Structure 1
């Protein structure tokens, strides 16, 4: 029994491939857009990120054809994230996107978590405004969803509100805030410098804190009812398992 549990926690081939794409290829593509394309081809870079994300996600169905209902659930989660971001447009940084992405990663696996986050960042910016920041936001949303799926698979993240809120708050503040502030510096200044980076982090501190608080709030409120609904859907229709 312990051996079987250990086997279930082992990362799959597709998850390892996804990690390579997310940690190497996608950051390299974003930096290509910044330094080679001068941030002028952000639509192209954004679409490449979505394409990269779909490769490991498609491998979930390597032994069978995907069913429409499986893809619809992922699309609906992305739509909820987009709608949630739009619904709270009047409150800067107080958005439920990261909470929804974490729930998607825990429920349907790391690949689905990244896909939901990347699509939510891309689609919602048709409302908030597309720009060179879009690929950075897609990557930040996506990598948190991917990490949530990996940690849940390894047993390091639980479905309890405490575990989810701690992970959500820290990942939003440290990962999302840390990466997006670096991206802002590279987008809006011609030369990198450590004082400029420190100033960027200092100016973004309160925005990142509000974003982290929002993630904790929405995870506390939404995680249990959403997990209950998603678990029932997975059992009823035999949907993909992480």
Structure 2
């Protein structure tokens, strides 16, 4: 488990390096960037799945959580950045661990975009939501993540982090990389959208956290789902 966690951290670091380097070095080939990012995002999947065999019921659980997270975007389609999907991804990682959180986050972006539309932005959403679930899982055994105020603060922070990651896509797509005035302008313009995402995370986590955590922990304990030390 410890070795797998180190691989996951290394993969996440590699993904961030890819983001930074290509965002600053490439102006027009954003499709190539997105393709490379997909590969970087999928590395933790293959590493984890290669090292252990998952039971069918665990795969079913991940599929159900992914479907719920993906479908939860649809009713709020008219409200930019106000989506329960982030809260579901965080809770999945919090209860079942970083691997599960990453899978639910990344795959919910891919699946939900069957409705919202696939495009070069999809890998960026997969990366952002995947990292959201991964970090929630990696911090789940810390004492403060079991405190509701800290959980809400975690969701609030990730509302902005998600937006900042997606801003990199905007920078690459508009060929603003290298023009720091344009980059700063993109981040300033996204502030209210990021704030809406952060506040909606707090609201949905406040509503869902208590009941969802109890139910999911009950399933994990009763059936031993994804319960690896």
Q: Tell me which interval the TM-score lies in, with the shorter structure as reference length.
A: 0.7 to 0.9
Partner of 2:45: 54
Per-residue deviation, 1:156: 5.1
8 Å contact 2:65–2:104 — kept in the other structure? yes
State the TM-score, normalized to the length of structure 1.
0.83
Q: Secondary structure at the match of 1:227?
A: helix
2:82 to 78, 91, 94: 94
1:165 partnered with 2:114: no
Partner of 1:213: 199
Partner of 1:39: 30
State the TM-score, normalized to the length of structure 2.
0.88
Unaligned runs of 5+ in 1: 1-10
1:15 partnered with 2:9: no
Per-residue deviation, 1:23: 1.8
Distance change (3 Å), C-alpha of 1:219 and 1:132: same
1:223 partnered with 2:209: yes
Partner of 1:5: none
Partner of 1:117: 105
Distance change (3 Å), C-alpha of 1:226 and 1:57: farther
Per-residue deviation, 1:40: 3.5
1:183 partnered with 2:174: no
| Greater Cα shift, 19-28 or 200-209 | 19-28
For residues 105 and 12 of structure 1, what CA distance do their matches in structure 2 show?
A: 17
8 Å contact 2:93–2:133 — kept in the other structure? yes
Give deviations 1:169-196, integer Å, cap 9, x for gaps. 01211x1122111221111125422111
Aligned residues: 227
For residues 183 and 177 of structure 2, what CA distance do their matches in structure 1 show?
A: 11
Give deviations 1:156-175, integer Å, cap 9, x for gaps. 542332121111001211x1
